[in-house]
A and B are shown apart, each in its own frame.
Chain A
Amino acid sequence: GAVVSQHPSRVICKSGTSVKIECRSLDFQATTMFWYRQFPKQSLMLMATSNEGSKATYEQGVEKDKFLINHASLTLSTLTVTSAHPEDSSFYICSATTGVYNEQFFGPGTRLTVL
């Protein structure tokens, strides 16, 4: 199956700093990428949907100025957590698909810890 990678797998940062997480589709072109957030023992919550070359669509309650998403190419999307705070600590997972109605392939996730 198609492979999606995320980098870094784990990051620890100080409060107030910004962190960038990359999501790459390694062997296919992803027209759409999704960003999810997962709290411990909770389900995946969709944060935003991004289509290559256009602005991301954020879910209700997700601050677009805090979680900046850039989908600059068909194989790369980035999520930047700006001015991170301890409550932003979570597991961030991306997924990618070749079309809006096609299977989503998930990345391994990035564990963010904000001190």
Chain B
Amino acid sequence: AQRVTQPEKLLSVFKGAPVELKCNYSYSGSPELFWYVQYSRQRLQLLLRHISRESIKGFTADLNKGETSFHLKKPFAQEEDSAMYYCALRAYSGAGSYQLTFGKGTKLSVIP
């Protein structure tokens, strides 16, 4: 079965400092990975996906199959980045269905 690990429950950084939120996964197939963000009192929303190789709000994430990692990075943290971040893996669950497996989340706190 697939598993997603986010080792840090809480990460505090100063504004302007670099940010790296760690995510490791285990999956026997070809993984598809996502980062979701949940701002205070808001719903979960997609931040980025590895397949798009995009940068959203200054965040990037590279899939490293050798290290089975998908760390989220931003060179200069902003106060508005403070939120809960979840790493997720989409896997085939049978009968034509795919499902997301989430990590436990990392709360990012950007100190002004």
- Give chain A's interface residues, CB within 8 Å of chain B: 1, 4, 32, 34, 41-46, 49, 51, 57, 93, 95, 100-101, 103-104, 106-109
Contacts of B102 in A (CB 8 A): 43-45
Q: How far is the CA of A41 from the CA of B96 in the complex (A)?
A: 32
Interface size class of B (residues with CB under 8 A): 10 to 19
Contacts of A103 in B (CB 8 A): 46
Q: How far is the CA of A101 from the CA of B99 in the complex (A)?
A: 9
The reply to whether B43 and A49 form a contact with Cβ atoms under 8 Å apart is no
Q: How far is the CA of A90 from the CA of B4 in the complex (A)?
A: 22
- Give chain B's interface residues, CB within 8 Å of chain A: 9, 42-46, 86, 93, 95-105
Instruction: Supply 12 further A-B pairs (C-beta < 8 A) apart from A104-B100, A106-B45.
Output: A1-B45, A34-B99, A41-B9, A43-B102, A44-B86, A46-B100, A57-B97, A100-B97, A100-B98, A101-B98, A108-B43, A109-B43
Contacts of B93 in A (CB 8 A): 49, 57
Contacts of A49 in B (CB 8 A): 93, 97, 99
Contacts of A43 in B (CB 8 A): 86, 102-105
Contacts of B42 in A (CB 8 A): 108
Q: How far is the CA of A35 from the CA of B101 in the complex (A)?
A: 13
The reply to whether B99 and A106 form a contact with Cβ atoms under 8 Å apart is no
The reply to whether A46 and B43 form a contact with Cβ atoms under 8 Å apart is no
The reply to whether A93 and B44 form a contact with Cβ atoms under 8 Å apart is yes
Contacts of A109 in B (CB 8 A): 43
